[in-house]
Amino acid sequence: MVTSGTRLRSQVCDTEVIVVRPADSLDDLRAGGAPMVPLGTAVATGLTLDADFADGSVLGKRYVDESGAEVLVTKPGAGALSIGTVRLALKGAQPLPASD
């Protein structure tokens, strides 16, 4: 299982993330359809960007799944983030409390 603060990178595009809130589901975290690997790990040869997961990721945005896992994009890339074949959702902004 990945832990909070773990940095991962895509094997098929430039996407890099840092784990904000770990969960068991992140063991199958993918970018562009290919499994992500720890930063500094060699990438596998022969992998290509899956056209179904080529929507990209946005720098500085947080992505979440239904289990509560959360990652922060530190370097954007062409691959969309997913857990297996289920895309991660872009985390929306939290409303600020009223100051009246």
* Long-range Cβ contacts of 57-61 (<8 Å, 24+ apart): 57/15, 57/17, 57/31, 57/81, 58/90, 61/90, 61/91
Q: Give the residue extent of every domain in the chain.
A: 7-90
Angle, alpha carbons 26-89-45 (nearest 5°)? 50
pTM of the predicted structure, to 2 decimals? 0.89
**pLDDT 10s digit of each residue in the chain, 100 long?**
789 999 999 999 999 999 999 999 999 999 999 999 999 999 898 999 999 999 999 999 999 999 999 999 999 999 999 999 999 999 988 888 887 6
The answer to whether 74 and 92 are in contact (CB under 8 A) is no
The per-residue DSSP string of 47-91 comes to ----GGG-S---TT-EEE-TTS-EEEEEE--SSPEEETTEEPEEP
Report the amino acid identity of residue 42.
A
pLDDT at 100: 64
CA end-to-end distance (rounded Å), the chain: 44
Report the amino acid identity of residue 45.
T
